[in-house]
Amino acid sequence: MKTVRIYGMAHNLTKSPPAPKGQGVWLSNSPGSYERRLPRALGEWTRWFNLHSRAHMLKAYPKGFNYYKTVSDGRPIYFQKIQPDVPASVVFPRERIQEAFKLPDGSPNRFFSCTICWLIAFAILEGFERIELWGFALRDNKANPGQCFAYERPGFFYWVQQARNRGIEVIYQKEIEKLPFKPGDPTTYTGPLYGYETKPEE
């Protein structure tokens, strides 16, 4: 079965078992989070994704961006744009994904409220038959109720539903199993296109 494992960076990432040899493993954003919670992930990954602007990456985690520059073994790193100083950089197919999942009125799907929404959609397009989600909890932000992960959950469950509707097996940890499965409606989503409109070039 063609399987991809996608690692998030929540506290439960530490419970992830080793990835089977030959299985796709996708990481995103800063290497520092994986160094702290699952160091072996830096040896397991097959594709990396950072959908933020270059300005944001350099400001938020410059050491992480320097790590991207060192990757020279053929593994791709997906960005909004090719980064000339990152040999492994490739362009993330944002427009192809939005068009593939276009809305009933024919407009591009904009229901991408966090990185994992993009990655699940991409995994569907890539023909994976099983998607494993490790290191995701989507807990409420107690300091800012209604924000952060609570805001992202409807999009997360929408894309899980899209995968399952296509016969793709999706598994995740008990922290998410405890949450109500409530997919959002992409036709009523008015939030920003994550990455592309949330942290623009400065």
Within the chain, which residues score under 70 in pLDDT?
A: 139-150, 200-202
**Complete DSSP assignment for 2-18:** -EEEEE--SGGGGGPPP
pLDDT at 111: 96
pLDDT in tens, 140-156: 655 555 445 667 889 99
At which residue do the structure tokens 């939005």 appear? Answer: 98
Residue-range definition of the domain harbouring residue 61: 3-177
How long is the chain? 202
Q: For position 201, what pLDDT does the model report?
A: 67
**Predicted local distance difference test score (pLDDT) of residue 143:** 54
pLDDT of residue 141: 58
Q: What local confidence, expressed as pLDDT, does residue 177 receive? A: 86
Report yes or no on 187 lying in a domain: no
At 198 the pLDDT is 84
**pLDDT at site 112:** 96
* CATH number reported for the structural domain that contains residue 80 in this entry: 3.90.1480.10
What does each C-alpha distance from 47 to 5, 7, 42, 50 come to in angstroms? 10, 11, 11, 10
Q: Is residue 10 in a domain? A: yes
- pLDDT tens, residue by residue, 67-106: 999 999 999 999 999 999 999 999 999 999 999 999 999 9
Determine the Cα–Cα distance for residues 78 and 47; give it in Å rounded to an integer. Answer: 8
Asked if the structure places residue 199 within a domain, the reply is no
Give the pLDDT score at 176. 87
Closest CA to 23 of 46, 49, 48: 46
| pLDDT value of residue 14 | 93
113 part of a folded domain = yes
Query: Are residues 65 and 57 in contact, defined by beta-carbon separation less than 8 angstroms?
Result: yes
Q: Are 183 and 157 in contact (CB under 8 A)?
A: yes
Whether 136 is in a domain gets the answer yes
Residue 49 forms part of a structural domain: yes
How many separate domains does the chain show? 1
The verdict on residue 201 lying in a domain is no
Question: Do residues 110 and 98 touch, judged by C-beta distance below 8 A?
Answer: yes
Partners of residue 78 on adjacent β-strands: 49, 90
The DSSP bridge partners found for residue 24 are 4
Is 75 domain-assigned? yes
